[in-house]
Amino acid sequence: MILITPLFLIRKKKYLFNSIGNLDFESISLISNNSSVERVQKVAKQLKLPAVAFACKPFPFTMNRILKDKNIKPEECVFVGDQVFTDILLANFLNINSIFVEPLDTSHVSFLRLMQYRFQETLLNKL
């Protein structure tokens, strides 16, 4: 199973899904912190994926429920995300392998999200 966050998907969905489709994953799900179920479902429908809105990442309770419902062990997953403090932290909490991708477009995000991206970029550059 591969679990992915929406910002990464929206911008590069054709490239991403052509690549992932060739890797023969059993299941791909969209896990979003966005509280707008309609917006998340719209993206999920475009990508032909199941989705979970308002996942409250990095808190593990929603992800634990998803893993339990799908009968998947954490070591059988990969979590792809563009936010260190939500996506990657959640994966680490649950011992799920993670892949950090840089945000593809920060020109249309809120001021607070932009500051978060800049802070995580500074932090990652120090590692």
pLDDT of residue 49: 82
Select from 71, 33, 67 the least CA-distant residue to 52.
Answer: 33
Ranges assigned E (strand) in the chain: 2-4, 28-31, 51-52, 78-81, 97-100
Would the pLDDT of 18 be above 70? Answer: no
pLDDT tens sequence across 28-46: 888 999 999 999 998 888 8
Sketch the domain layout of the chain as residue ranges.
2-126
Would the pLDDT of 127 be above 70? Answer: yes
Whole-model pTM?
0.78
pLDDT tens sequence across 113-122: 888 888 988 9
Side-chain-side CA neighbours of 113 within 13 Å: the count stands at 13
CATH architecture, range 2-126:
3-Layer(aba) Sandwich (3.40)
pLDDT tens sequence across 55-104: 999 999 999 999 999 899 999 898 988 889 999 999 999 999 998 887 76
